[in-house]
Structure 1
């Protein structure tokens, strides 16, 4: 394989710590975490669309993003960046580990968004007809 060089901005040990922190849980815990994060993000899209003012949209985005970050929830986008960096720059993470994490995160986010928020949106639209 090719030699992996970086810009030297972040130490490889830091990348390793961040990536290991994301994937050190069992797939069932990761799935539950991404379901909750997917639910929050889908709820956020609903809140942003229903808001009239820009300030309330910004507040909603900050509130949901902060909740996901401080709660340590897994998300397919952020987790992908962290684990992919670990895959590229360190040898502790295999391609199969990355694939398992990313597929779990994608399915969990989709499940959380579709199963929990879509019925609420449907009911809201059906009530207005």
Structure 2
């Protein structure tokens, strides 16, 4: 996993306790505890990361460990190595096979998308607790 060009990088030997906020994309591979606020930016939690924080971002991609609630106005991507303990409120959610999610999920359209839609939109909601893959291949 390589950080996107132009992202700020917090390396795997870095430990941060407290509030983290900004207006640029962020790649974390270290140990973070507190809150992370990137309202208009993307957050990537790398494979070596251990994040214990409530997160408020536009988009987030998780490869490592995350304990805390996630609020994303855009997309939440849980890759196969992701382990997430917390609730997710997002516009979109993608969960790869073998990713682990323990918490509830609520998907909401952004206010911009809702204003463009002239029909009523149902808000999907689910409570998930899985220590095995959420989706498995049928046995032959």
TM range (shorter): under 0.3
Higher helix proportion: 1
Indicate the structure (1 or 2) with the bigger Cα radius of gyration.
1
Q: Which has the higher contact order (CA 8 A, sep 6+)?
A: 1
Output the TM-score relative to the length of structure 1.
Answer: 0.28
Higher strand proportion: 2
